[in-house]
Amino acid sequence: MKIINRILALMMALMLLCGLATAEDTALRGYDKKAGYVYVILGSFPQTEDGGVEPILWRVLAVEDGRALLLSEYVLEARRIHGDYKEYANKPTNKKNPGFDGDFTQTEMAQYLNGDFAQKNFTIEEQSVISPDETYGMFFLLSGDDLKNKDYGFVDNNSRKAWGTEYAKANGLFVYGSSRGNHSPYWTRTQSTTNTQGARCIKSKGEIGYINVITEDEGMRPACYLDMARVQLTGGSGTLEDPYRLNTDKATDTAMTENIETTECDCVPEGEKCDCCDCCSCSLR
By C-alpha distance, which of 42, 73, 88 is closest to 168?
Answer: 73
pLDDT on residue 16: 44
Q: Strand 208-212 relative to strand 232-235: parallel, antiparallel, unpaired? A: unpaired
Q: Distance from CA of residue 200 to its chain's centroid?
A: 20
The answer to whether 52 touches 72, Cβ cutoff 8 Å, is: no
The yes-or-no verdict on residue 30 having pLDDT over 50 is yes
SS3 content of the chain, % helix, strand, coil (to 5): 30, 25, 45
Instruction: Indicate whether 13 belongs to any domain.
Output: no
pTM of the model: 0.81
Instruction: Indicate whether 275 belongs to any domain.
Output: no
Instruction: Indicate whether 243 belongs to any domain.
Output: yes
By C-alpha distance, which of 277, 253, 257, 255 is closest to 265?
Answer: 277
Question: What is the domain count for the chain?
Answer: 1
Rounded mean pLDDT, 203-217: 98
pLDDT on residue 27: 63
The answer to whether 76 touches 221, Cβ cutoff 8 Å, is: yes
Rounded mean pLDDT, 216-245: 96
Q: From residue 238, give the alpha-carbon distance in Å to each of 162, 178, 246.
A: 19, 30, 11
pLDDT range class, residue 26, cuts 50, 70, 90? low
Instruction: Indicate whether 260 belongs to any domain.
Output: no
Q: Strand 53-64 relative to strand 39-46: parallel, antiparallel, unpaired? A: antiparallel
Instruction: Indicate whether 269 belongs to any domain.
Output: no
pLDDT range class, residue 56, cuts 50, 70, 90? very high
Is 266 or 249 the better-scoring residue by pLDDT? Answer: 249
pLDDT in tens, 174-183: 999 999 999 9
**Which residues constitute the domain of residue 30?**
23-247
pLDDT on residue 3: 54
Instruction: Indicate whether 77 belongs to any domain.
Output: yes
Instruction: Indicate whether 258 belongs to any domain.
Output: no
Instruction: Indicate whether 268 belongs to any domain.
Output: no
The yes-or-no verdict on residue 266 having pLDDT over 80 is no
pLDDT on residue 248: 82
